[in-house]
Chain A
Amino acid sequence: MIRSMSKPIEQAIKTKITGAFQPVHLAVKNDSSKHAHHAGLRGATNVTESHFRLTIVSDAFAGKALPARHRMVYTLLDEEIKEKGVHAVQLKTKTPTEWEKDPKDL
């Protein structure tokens, strides 16, 4: 219980992405501890949920170039990025067909 409550942003990301893209595969990794001391985070209050690595496999990406796919995710996570102190989101966005060729999480 305490564990899940201590990760509100990660939970929000999962919920939003699941709702919007109905992914056949979703992996959310939290890299925040690796970046807790870097320059961009000086003075930041959120250092435990600041850096995420997402792998999203969904049909929603079909026929879209990479920048467009990433923008879809950034738009969805606008609040987390602008207001909740999420500093970096690394993304791998694949369609199920693309994923089959190289099913590796970012």
Chain B
Amino acid sequence: MSVIEITSKEHFTQVTDVPKDKLLALYFHTQWAPPCIQMNTVYQTLSQQHPEVSFISINADNHSELSEMFDVSAVPFFALIRDNTILKEMSGADPKEFVTSLNELTNGKSTGEDSQRNEQHNSTAPGDETEEQLNLRLSKLTSAAPVMLFMKGTPASPQCGFSRQVVAILREHQVRFGFFDILKDDSVRQGLKKFSDWPTFPQLYINGEFQGGLDIIKENLQEDPKFFENTI
């Protein structure tokens, strides 16, 4: 079975009207996010390996209503649904997690695990990026989620003690955040230093506005324990 590309909201309603025991896979993508291009192929291949599952593909830009319905704030975004229940949702271009969940669910097993709620924002540089293009990319990235953390490593595996501490603080305050691993993209790493006029990482952005590094976040919380509530 091949992937169904959604053309309208009505089309979506129609194709998701399936028997209770049928597993639905949703894949939100955009044309401008390079990780999606790679995932398109992966998704297509998986659809052939799992004919019992309905594979649905949605262009997040063209169908903002559907994106909002699933609270999609980063692409690629996946959701696995059965009997009107979202069993699993995940963001990012790591196909492994999706494949694992898919296998678990198609084998009739369900996981009690919570899906990872932090969203990784990937954006790969085109070969020759001008400074202007880089700045445009940075301004998109810094506002990719209401709270964006630019860190060394990932929340699950920080590569620097300061980044680790910011993740711990955000979690402690139950702040949902997007992140970008600057070790994976040197043009973002170098560009953001200029963009933020800030030489070090981690860097925290709230609503597209630069907040500071670990010391400032700690100090802000000391002054105002409800800093996040008041700022987000």
Contact = CB atoms under 8 A, between A and B. Distances in A.
B195 interface: no
B199 A40 contact: no
B199 A81 contact: yes
Given A40-B152, A90-B214, A92-B219, A71 B159 contact: no
B220 interface: yes
Contact of A67 (B160, B200, B214, B216): B216
B228 interface: no
Interface string A58-83: 00000000110011001000100110
Interface residues of A, number: 18
A63 to B, nearest CB: 16
Contacts, number: 42
A70 to B, nearest CB: 7
Interface residues of B, number: 18
A70 B215 contact: yes
B93 to A, nearest CB: 23
A88 B219 contact: no
B213 interface: yes
Given A66-B216, A71-B197, A74-B198, A88 B162 contact: yes
B188 to A, nearest CB: 16
B212 A82 contact: no
B219 A70 contact: no
Contacts of B160: 38-40
Interface of B: 152, 159-162, 197-200, 210-216, 219-220
Given A66-B216, A67-B216, A106-B215, 15 more contacts: A38-B159, A38-B161, A39-B159, A40-B159, A66-B212, A66-B220, A67-B198, A67-B211, A70-B216, A71-B198, A74-B198, A74-B199, A81-B199, A81-B200, A90-B214
Interface of A: 35, 38-40, 66-67, 70-71, 74, 78, 81-82, 88-92, 106
